[in-house]
Structure 1
Amino acid sequence: MEAIVLAREQGIDLVAIDDKAARSRASQTGLRPIGTLGLIVLAHRPGHLDASTAMTKVDELVDIHGLYLSSHVRRQIRRQLGGSFTGTVKR
């Protein structure tokens, strides 16, 4: 919840939060929460990360840090990366 307080104090509306309850609270207070996956996709859009690197980062979240991604979310990520990555997200 510290991120929410800090964002409001600083007048920032986009806040990086992965916790589901905190994301809900952020939305209720008028903030726009974005998770780690959203940040990866956001970094890809202006060309900071190519699709392959972005998907590698997603793989690391799954393989190293234990993030669970459903098939639906995997497809969404590929679509948001422009469908240019043909690999699979490992589970």
Structure 2
Amino acid sequence: MTVKPLLDRVLIKMEEAEETTKSGIILAGSAKEKPQIADVVEVGPGGLVDGKEVTMYVKKGDRVITSKYSGTEVKLDGVDYTLVRQSDILAVVE
């Protein structure tokens, strides 16, 4: 199944949460912090959003940092993705 985001939306796959701390303590599922770094899977075309022209700055394959609780979580073919607006992306990691 393929998903093509609309307008200024970006489909991302979050990186896995750390299982252990730097000192070697294994974390329980509820203690893991939600990751903020993700891989861009698909990017919408941009265009006119709320009366303003939006140019897409991220591209497929970029690693990005997102707002902590942004987006809509989606499960496709057993894989968890998040659909966010480009404005919820804070930075591109190089």
Instruction: Confirm or deny a common fold (TM above 0.5).
Output: no
The answer to which structure, 1 or 2, has the higher relative contact order (CA under 8 A, 6+ apart) is: 2
Q: Report which of the two has the higher share of helix.
A: 1
Q: Report which of the two has the higher share of strand.
A: 2
Q: TM-score under structure 1 normalisation?
A: 0.17
Q: TM-score under structure 2 normalisation?
A: 0.17
